[in-house]
Amino acid sequence: MPLTQDKKLVGGADLSRIAGLLNLSSTEEKLLEKDERQTTIDLRTKLDEKTVILADAYLVYHNTARGPAKGGIRLASNVTMDETRDLAERMTWKTALTKIPFGGGKSAIRVDPRTLSTFTKKLVIRRFVHEIRWELTSGSYIPAPDLGSGPPEMAAIYGELHMPECVTGKPPRVGGLPGREEATGYGVSVATIYALEKLRNKDAKESTIAVQGFGNVGSWTCNFLSESGSRIVAVADADGGVFNSDGLNIKDLHKHVDEKGTAKDFSGKAITNEELLALDVDVLIPAAVENVINRETAPRVRAKIVVEGANGPTTAEGDTILRNGGSVVVPDILANSGGVIASYVEWRSGKSGSITPRQEVYNTLRETIEDAFHRVTETSDRLDLSYRDAAMVLAVDEVVKAMHDRGWV
């Protein structure tokens, strides 16, 4: 993927423009711009008499007017405070748009998870829990998996605290939720089908789809969309991709990826990530990394619907080019909100001790995302805005009203 000099959509959109549309006061705007809290921790994990892992760790509360700070723990060798705060801000908008009673937070540990054994990774996580024990036990920050962390690490957090509502994304046998693993991909598929039917008057069965990324989000999105009858004609991951105009057999692709660790060399025509982004399909779903649709790649995008499975896959310039070219973008804060919606159901079950069946999780995801999408299209039509701006207008308005309810402004 080309490196881009494009402007990043900080926190998902141009906040000052949204503040202008909503006529916000300068105090309201300032409160939204700034994080409530940024904590940097010098994390020291002693492994044995001679070895100590030293790593910076970050915890950000962007805005908690609507509820506790909710957001995953990212483990990555190059993660920064800036990236952590950007993701925390996206959580503020995501939870507000979908009306989930959480605020925006995020945490990160600057280690390469691939260099850590499962055991060592859990030690690092336990040390992090030790450092932020108050935030976790008071319920002011509720972590979940993010890149580099998953259900085993969430089980380790639960093991330290013995409070099921302190963390979401736990394995189902340890207080986790059936359906949490696939929730984001399910949500992306719901948003895609809604966009096809309501915006293009097209049945999923008649649609062609290209998906970048075959990790958690991309692979589950492919599963659900192919079950709905869509033709997934191309998939690519970090190593390259594959195209088949008749549609890829997703079950066989899973087997291939399990064996080879990549979608590359699966039966079909080999394609690059750049070629995938430029395919003539109904829907393009970037579900891997950020900034891939930018000033270099956006002019070649031919899909009339782009559904952002990943966080921040489109730069500011890329967004403008897509819009001018007539493509509709379903923004990340709507399209990939399934994970946090399921996290909310898990948190609620943990608090009440109730069991939530998988079908109920799917129903909640579908109803919540369709409701949010409906409000976004209505706002977009009424104010003549892109879906990204309309989603932000709704989310920012919700947070500002909550700040007033709380007496912050």
Q: Which residues are catalytic?
A: 106
340 Cβ contact partners less than 8 Å away, ≥ 6 residues apart = 70, 91, 94, 95, 98, 100, 102, 144
In the complex, the smallest distance separating the C-beta of residue 379 from ligand NAD, rounded to whole angstroms, is: 22
Q: Which is nearer to ligand NAD, 197 or 239 (CB)?
A: 239
Compute, in degrees rounded to 10, the torsion defined by CA atoms 132, 136, 140, 144: 100
- Residue 289 binding ligand NAD, by CB under 6 A: yes
d(CA 57, CA 44) in angstroms, rounded, equals 10
What is the DSSP secondary structure assignment for residue 8, as one 8-state letter?
P
Residue 253 CA, distance from chain mean position: 23
Q: Going residue by residue from 205 to 244, which x/- string records binding to ligand NAD, judged by CB under 6 A? A: -------xxxxxxx-----------------xxx------
Q: Going residue by residue from 172 to 201, which x/- string records binding to ligand NAD, judged by CB under 6 A? A: ------------x-----------------
Question: Which DSSP string do the residues of 54-111 spell out, in sequence order?
Answer: EEEEEEEEEE-TTSSEE--EEE-TT--HHHHHHHHHHHHHHHHHTT-S-EEEEEEE-S
In the complex, the smallest distance separating the C-beta of residue 212 from ligand NAD, rounded to whole angstroms, is: 5
Sign of CA pseudo-dihedral 310, 315, 318, 324: positive
Q: Which is nearer to ligand NAD, 140 or 262 (CB)?
A: 262
Total number of residues binding ligand NAD (CB under 6 A)? 22
Q: Return the residue of 13, 96, 310, 334 that touches ligand NAD, per CB under 6 A.
A: 310
Q: Return the residue of 336, 356, 364, 380 that touches ligand NAD, per CB under 6 A.
A: 336
Q: In this chain, which stretch among 13-21, 33-41, 306-314, 361-369 interacts with ligand NAD, using CB under 6 A?
A: 306-314
Q: In this chain, which stretch among 122-130, 222-230, 309-317, 389-397 interacts with ligand NAD, using CB under 6 A?
A: 309-317
Classify strands 240-243 and 231-237 as parallel, antiparallel or unpaired.
antiparallel
Q: Which is nearer to ligand NAD, 28 or 153 (CB)?
A: 153
Q: Which is nearer to ligand NAD, 31 or 250 (CB)?
A: 250
Residue nearest ligand NAD by beta-carbon distance: 215
Q: Return the residue of 125, 196, 287, 306 that touches ligand NAD, per CB under 6 A.
A: 287
Q: Which is nearer to ligand NAD, 175 or 179 (CB)?
A: 179
Classify strands 52-63 and 103-109 as parallel, antiparallel or unpaired.
antiparallel
Q: Which is nearer to ligand NAD, 236 or 399 (CB)?
A: 236
145 Cβ contact partners less than 8 Å away, ≥ 6 residues apart = 72, 73, 151, 153, 154, 169
69 Cβ contact partners less than 8 Å away, ≥ 6 residues apart = 60, 61, 62, 88, 91, 102, 103, 104, 105, 140, 141, 142
Residues of this chain that interact with ligand NAD (CB under 6 A) are 1, 147, 184, 212-218, 236-238, 273, 287-289, 309-311, 336, 339
